[in-house]
Amino acid sequence: MAMIAKHCPHIKVTVVDLSVRRIKQWNSDDLPIFEPGLDECIQAVRGKNLFFSNEIDKNIDESDIIFVAVNTPTKVYGMGKGFASNLTNLEKAARNIAKVAKTPKIVVEKSTVPVKTAATIRRVLDAANSGVQFQILSNPEFLAEGTAMKDLEAPSRVLIGGGQDAAGLKAIQTLVDVYANWVPRARIITTNLWSSELSKLVANAFLAQRISSINSISALCEKTNADVDEVANAIGTDPRIGSKFLRASVGFGGSCFQKDILNLVYLCRSYNLHEVADYWESVVKMNDYQKKRFSLRMVRTMFNTVTGKRIALFGFAFKKNTGDTRETAAAYIADHLLKERANVVVHDPKVLDEDMYLEFKYTLGMTPESFPDMKRCLSSERDPYAAAKGAHCIAVMTEWDCFKTLDYEKIFASMAKPAFVFDGRNILDHEKLRKIGFEVYAIGKPAAISGGC
Ligand code: UGA
């Protein structure tokens, strides 16, 4: 919405939310999320044509286009538990629009939703029998966190799906005209509603599939002394394969990939397409395997026990340049190590402690009540040197650039010996670390002690 406000000074954009606290933060100098470039963009337009408000009904009433961007997390109960999306918030938003609207509205699905959700919204809106004309569009978002502002400024494409009758096409054109203020027309793709809803899930499934594919090969590289980065480079130069999203890692995280694939799996199963469902579910299974494999390797390498050992996790965000911890691989690794009774110390330049503990609560069901020792065994350090002091190993969970330039001689001197590094992102200079005295293990790389022919 900030980007629309920036490029469309003639359009008044108001972001509404139920949470008074959140809106207060959006109206302050301390925004509730960290995203490079967002502060500057908001500062430039807030109070001019971008507003944040708790007055939901008033703003529904006054608007012509309503973007619904509520969260749709994976269901944790009932039918479709663990796979389907929870559409409670979306339905509530639609009901509220139906109740309040008095003039024609274009309702845009911005949240990632299962295919055919637009039909649900239509039924809810029509059931109000208010006589108001509603048009429903699907306009999924393709930005990635950490590069959101760049992605929005020059998107690879904007996708708009809508009804194919005259009124639907007119609504599509209205939204096309908004984006055309800064996006070249050739990059604005229009489709029917269902293609647009499905494309969002499929785009994420294909991206995640590439990561699981290269991660599966990383396991084979560790057995054969091949180097996964060399393999990725060699295959990525083929333009039919391409070089992006081939970085082997400790496993993908984030609020989208797993959720969207499970949603796709659920959709396929509901149409009795079990082979198709199994195919996509294996992408998530491979990701689970990669996380498990990494933490098992840590324990095995450290003489089959980490009980009572201090372990420094460098990074907790699901990727660099964000403080977002949702579905981060780091939480699964930490969980496994805590179950082995290690003492885990997390250092991340952007993650807030409250978000870290929330991730344990929501994704892993771990709370101070279910795990009384949690606060003692799992702590955080703002200073990386303090985190590593006395630790038996450092495990890199997030590819933050600042980890590359730390003084590893100083870190080595302060650690228990042998001092191990497990590089879950392949970002550190492994040769240099070995020269300092570290025993280094990386994803899909020959182990130091078993290297050579
Ligand atoms: C992803 C998609 O890239 C966006 O296009 C999409 O709009 C977004 O989901 C969404 O549906 O909202 P995001 O989750 O923000 O974006 O971040 P990605 O850059 O895709 O990274 C996802 C995970 O994959 C991270 O944990 C990252 O570290 C990991 N990854 C990525 C790898 O392990 N290897 C790679 O080569 C690339």
| pTM confidence score | 0.94
- Round to whole Å and give the CA distance between 300 and 17: 48
- Sequence spans of domains, the chain: 2-192, 302-450
Are 2-192 and 302-450 in the same CATH fold? Answer: yes
3-class secondary-structure state, position 375: helix
What's the gap in Å between 136 CA and the centre of ligand 1? 28
Q: How many CB atoms lie within 10 A of CB 308?
A: 10
Share of the chain above pLDDT 90, in %: 87
What's the gap in Å between 267 CA and the centre of ligand 1? 22
Q: Binning pLDDT at 50, 70 and 90, where does residue 451 land?
A: very low
Residues 170-192 pLDDT 10s: 999 999 999 999 999 999 999 99
Q: Whose CA is nearest to atom 3 of ligand 1?
A: 144
Burial label for 427, CB within 10 Å (0-12, 13-18, 19+), is buried
What's the gap in Å between 47 CA and the centre of ligand 1? 32
Q: Binning pLDDT at 50, 70 and 90, where does residue 448 land?
A: low
pLDDT at 3: 98
Q: Which of 8, 41, 221, 256 is catalytic?
A: 256
Closest CA to 109 of 70, 144, 145, 142: 70
What fold characterizes domain 2-192? Rossmann fold (3.40.50)
CB 161 within 8 A of CB 197: yes
Ligand 1: residues with CB < 6 A are 112, 141-145, 204, 207, 211, 245-247, 249, 252-254, 256-257, 318-319
What's the gap in Å between 146 CA and the centre of ligand 1? 10
> In the predicted model, is pLDDT for residue 453 greater than 70?
no
Q: Whose CA is nearest to atom 12 of ligand 1?
A: 256
Q: Which class in CATH covers the domain with range 302-450?
A: alpha beta
- Would you call 41 a catalytic residue per the annotation? no
